[in-house]
């Protein structure tokens, strides 16, 4: 089957000389439709940079990114934004919610930008917030929410346009275990619908849901583990291969 996401020779360096940081260094990646890929690694190893490159939020210094058979790394900012809106849900590590908008309005915004009616956007946002356990917080501003609640609003916003591909950067990083369970349930439902997920995480519960786990070190892929292969749509928290995750939560 054709890969939904494909990257080759991906490179992003910062600075020069002694200050050079090889944030992403000649990375190759192919993600099949319906696959869940986990990306783990120490702080600063390049996980967020990689995710930004894959989502067209940053441009590589070298290499290519293809999404659904289309090369996307050289797109103009407008074209990249349009593509993201239609095809990719992105959960930022630092949320990036709009401070002046309520939780519900933040979630509705990408739907409105994609041309959805106000009524449909509102209905969809309300449903997602409900599933995130935030039904009672829809009218709150981000400043009136806890870090974990803001994070769940960010997850809901990433899903409002029904993306084929979800790129999530530490989506449970600020959540207690009950709230993380809400997010994991939602991800399991997305998997069951055949969606593709690339999730950067320090959380072994999240990593344990992946079909494949990639460990990054100094901007490169250091290790790749195929976790217990489950039939697509099996959902749930696969226990297979969890031994490979020991020490992840350290």
Closest approach of Cβ 47 to Mg ion, in Å? 5
Instruction: Select 14 or 226, whichever has its Cβ closest to ligand ATP.
Output: 14
CA distances from 44 to 23, 47, 93, 130, 192 (A): 8, 7, 13, 34, 32
122 binds ligand ATP per the rule CB under 6 A:
no
Per DSSP bridges, beta strands 62-67 and 36-40 are: unpaired
Phi-psi region of 194 (alpha: psi -120 to 50; beta: other; left: phi over 0): left
Binding partner of 49, given ligand ATP, Mg ion, none, CB within 5-8 angstroms per partner class: ligand ATP
Closest approach of Cβ 12 to Mg ion, in Å? 13
CA distance 191 to 214: 18
- Span of 86-94, 113-121, 185-193, 239-247 interacting with Mg ion by CB under 5 A: 86-94
Closest approach of Cβ 43 to ligand ATP, in Å? 3
Binding partner of 44, given ligand ATP, Mg ion, none, CB within 5-8 angstroms per partner class: ligand ATP
Binding partner of 34, given Mg ion, ligand ATP, none, CB within 5-8 angstroms per partner class: none
DSSP assignment letter at 238:
-
Coil, helix or strand at residue 220: strand
Residue with the closest Cβ to Mg ion?
A: 48
Binding partner of 235, given Mg ion, ligand ATP, none, CB within 5-8 angstroms per partner class: none
Binding partner of 106, given ligand ATP, Mg ion, none, CB within 5-8 angstroms per partner class: none
Cβ pair 61, 27 in contact under 8 A:
no
149 binds ligand ATP per the rule CB under 6 A:
no
174 binds Mg ion per the rule CB under 5 A:
no
CA distance 29 to 12: 15
CA distance 244 to 155: 27
Instruction: Select 48 or 172, whichever has its Cβ closest to Mg ion.
Output: 48
106 binds ligand ATP per the rule CB under 6 A:
no
What tokens appear for 31 in the block? 């993600």
Per DSSP bridges, beta strands 165-169 and 21-31 are: unpaired
Closest approach of Cβ 38 to ligand ATP, in Å? 13
48 binds Mg ion per the rule CB under 5 A:
yes
Per DSSP bridges, beta strands 212-217 and 220-226 are: antiparallel
Closest approach of Cβ 197 to Mg ion, in Å? 17
What tokens appear for 73 in the block? 């790394």
CA distance 4 to 68: 5
- The site string for ligand ATP over 16-35 (x = CB under 6 A, - otherwise) reads -----x-x------------
């Amino acid at each position: 089957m054709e890969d939904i996401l494909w990257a080759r020779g991906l490179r992003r360096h910062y600075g020069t000389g002694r200050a050079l940081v090889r944030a992403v260094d000649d990375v190759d990646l192919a993600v099949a439709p319906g696959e869940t890929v986990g990306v783990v690694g120490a702080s600063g190893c390049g996980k967020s940079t990689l995710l930004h490159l894959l989502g067209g939020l940053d441009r590589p210094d070298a290499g290519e990114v293809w999404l659904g058979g289309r090369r996307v790394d050289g797109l103009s900012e407008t074209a990249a934004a349009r593509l993201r809106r239609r095809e990719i849900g992105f959960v930022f590590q630092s949320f990036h919610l709009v401070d002046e908008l309520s939780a519900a309005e933040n979630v509705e915004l990408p739907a409105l930008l994609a041309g959805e009616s106000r009524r449909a956007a509102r209905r969809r946002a309300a449903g997602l917030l409900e599933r995130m356990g935030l039904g009672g917080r829809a009218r709150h501003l981000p400043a009136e929410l806890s870090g974990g609640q803001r994070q769940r609003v960010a997850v809901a916003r990433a899903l409002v346009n029904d993306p084929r591909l979800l790129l999530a950067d530490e989506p449970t990083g600020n959540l207690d275990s009950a709230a993380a369970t809400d997010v994991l349930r939602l991800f399991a439902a997305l998997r069951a619908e055949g969606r593709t997920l690339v999730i950067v995480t320090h959380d072994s519960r999240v990593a344990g849901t992946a079909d494949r786990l990639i460990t990054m070190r100094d901007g490169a892929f250091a290790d790749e583990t195929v976790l217990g292969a489950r039939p697509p749509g099996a959902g749930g928290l696969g226990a297979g291969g969890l031994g490979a995750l020991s020490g992840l939560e350290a």
